Structure 1
């Protein structure tokens, strides 16, 4: 049976599985004798980082990761805000983790090297 979820389920082993998947991809790419960039789209929300990624390990295998810094705010909220503000406006009721600086800091605080993070922004 199905609980109605279309597959967006987070399991406890997902963190380790993603690291293992990245390691296997890197191994297979390196076996060709050429260098291929390996990257991943990464969430901006700290809760999603914690649920699915070993930030201190995955960049051993990834050349870079793109942090999804767009849609930090949107129509699901009751107030209008910038989709990807660099920092939250003063008096903002939303936590600091919903800003470009907050998202990048969340990754680096968990061990991701700054030089390997690319910020995805709307245009």
Structure 2
């Protein structure tokens, strides 16, 4: 795989994008949350992420370092897994991040916020 994360950051920095930048971090949003993505310095195969969502008074929060698993000219796919089998797949590109989180990821959520991590963030 080529320098995926840095290439995506370069392309996104030099084109019109829906996401806003906060320092070196890209921030994408959906109606009930946001995801922040940043390249890991010195490692073009990883990106640091944090996802925060809320449903009424219930919150989901998860963060980590995702590993690149695939790269095309349109997007980069990253994955993160914890020790409890929560698997989050991030498809990052074209001014959006599509997040797919397994049901095991609901342990990061308040009682009524389960499954709110997944979705398209723009």
Shorter-chain TM-score bucket reads under 0.3
The structure carrying a bigger helix percent of its residues is 1
Higher relative contact order (CA closer than 8 Å, sequence separation 6+): 1
The structure carrying a bigger strand percent of its residues is 2
TM-score by length of 2: 0.25
